[in-house]
Amino acid sequence: MISCVRAVGLACVLVAAGLALSKARADELTALGLPPDQGREEVEAYCSGCHSLKLVVQQGLSQEAWDELLDWMIEEQEMEPMEAVDRNLVLDYLSKHLSIEAVRARRKQR
């Protein structure tokens, strides 16, 4: 099994090298509930190392709660600490697209 740490590391390299998501993958992410925006590639890279993005898109949290969740994953769940610039991108993306309001709106469509 590829360890989470390695998978995240690999993804970071790809992002750092400026390799944008393929069109097909970008469409998959949009369909999953992660619309195109700044930070989406970082979300995919960091979050899918250990668990499915399906777990991410089920959530609707405040920025504070997302921040605490990242701390919990780093402190207790073996997630590699993130560079500040990446952490901010991830946090901004999650807080904007998977906010309490966003999940409320999505629930009403089902």
Partner 1 sequence: MAADKIPGLFELYDKDADQADRLLFGRVARPDRRGFLRGAGLTTMSAMVGAAIPFARHMPSGFIPVALAESSVIEGKDGLTLLNDRPLNAETPPHLLADAITPTNRHFIRNNGIPPENTSPDGWSLTIDGLVDKPMTLSIDDLKSKFDVVTAALTIECGGNGRSFFDPPAKGNQWTLGAVACSEWTGVRLADVLKAAGVKDNAVYTAHVSADAHLSGKEGKLAISRGVPIAKAMDPNNLIAFAQNGAAMHPMNGAPLRLVVPGWPGSCSQKWLTRVWLRDQVHDGPKMTGKAYRVPNHPVEPGEKVAKTDFEIIHAMPVKSLITAPESGYASADGKVAVAGHAWAGDDAVARVDLSVDFGASWIAATLDQPANPYAWQNFSATLSLPKKGYYEVWARATSDKGVAQPHAIAWNPKGYLNNSMHRIAVRYA
Residues that bind partner 1 (CB under 8 A): 1-5, 50-52, 54-55, 58-62, 65, 69, 77-79, 100, 103-105, 107-110
Instruction: Select 26 or 65, whichever has its Cβ closest to partner 1.
Output: 65
Helix, strand or coil for residue 22? Answer: coil
- The torsion angle over the Cα atoms of residues 17, 22, 25 and 29, rounded to 10 degrees, is 70
CB of 18 to partner 1, least distance (A): 27
- The torsion angle over the Cα atoms of residues 74, 75, 78 and 81, rounded to 10 degrees, is 40
CB of 92 to partner 1, least distance (A): 19
CB of 79 to partner 1, least distance (A): 7
